[in-house]
Structure 1
Amino acid sequence: MPALRTRPSTAPTRRGAKVVAITSAAAVAAVGVTLSLAAWTDNEWLTSGFDGDDPAISTSAFEVEQYAYPSTGGSAGTFSQHETSDDANVVTFSVEALSPQVPSYGLVGLRTTAGSLGGALTLQAADDLLNAGTTTDAAAAALFAATEVTVWTWSEADSTPAFGCDASTSSQPGVTQIAAGALAAAAGSASQELAAEGGDVQYYCYQLLFDVPDGADPEDYMGVGLVPAWEFTAESD
């Protein structure tokens, strides 16, 4: 009797199933490794912020203003700023028609503005505005050279000075002489402190004194103009 033939089975062997299972597991593992490489991101910011509508941080300010008083003093008018020689404040001197050895006095007060830091003022020697730049006025230059200035200063909380600027000023309490000599050379010997926000007024009393130099002709000095200009340099605390 002939032997019976059997058909090959098409079902996967357990070995084959195992291999497939292992391969599938490896594929799943590979996907898992790829996902683990992703990362969350986050950003953080900060700022100095605002105070209402205004920046919480801003720069400070330092500004000085002045008022030219009559030499006799009195209540202050409006203080203002004059920061260039072209816009210099005008001090009215007690004697405007100078004569030899007759003093003339002028008074000015300076303070910081509202909202300003405190600081220090330093008086510079005078410039001759009639001989500035390319201008040449020989007679005015001679008068400028023949005129001396003395400057006294004091400080008060009030914008109405306790006394005026005259021959008695130097003997008043709290008054210090800071300059004396030829206009072109007499700078302040020290600086003066100004309180913040107009907390005090620094007063300056100027005395001008002219004399005809030895050997000069007095006629050469008659009717001649004189326009000294003084600068205060100021630095904040």
Structure 2
Amino acid sequence: MMGDSAGKVLLLDDDEFVLRSLRRLLSASGYYVTVYQSARAFLASDDLDTADCIILDLGLPDSDGFRVQEALAAAGGSQSIVFLTARGDIPASVRAMKAGAVDFLTKPVEADTLLAAVGVAHQRARSRREMETRKASVVKRLDSLTTRETQVMHLVVAGLLNKQIAADLGTVEKTIKVHRGRMMAKLGVRTVADLVRLVAVAEPPRGDIGPKSNYDLTGP
């Protein structure tokens, strides 16, 4: 496992010996590794934006691992966390895993065990990042729709026929066909099934399907 595909790992631990050992192990496996000994410096780092995996100790001089985990979650990061601690217990493990940690390991840890957990964390982070990129692309396309095209899109996804949509929006079927065609072209889909799958990726940017009174009925 070498090169860019191995990803970036951040280590947060106040034990210099642990940091040196883990850095050697992970670097030898092809990971790009950065180490930190304080939560304050770690949370202020620009590395967080590009990291795939974080190996996190529970006991830190200026915080604890759970607070760091909560701060990362609040910031909406896509990193995956592996806890590695000398003072772990079952309640702590349960708490960490419920909050989304990939694994909860205790020191000393076998090299193969740690590398397996980091591999899972790396893959999860990459998958989340790919999904976020896809969602951003879909949202951008949805935002390109006019208000009327968005209304038509919601009703098509809801399973209404053109004539039903026309009646609901107070216009004629021919006009709905025009809006529908433009909407499908902007979104880059050909079938209703493709449209439903695309819309499911991201929340519609202009509200949910609702009663006719919720629509802006100005325009054609």
Calculate the TM-score normalised by the size of structure 1. Answer: 0.24
Q: Greater CA radius of gyration, 1 or 2?
A: 1
Between structures 1 and 2, the one with greater strand share: 1
Higher relative contact order (CA 8 A, sep 6+): 1
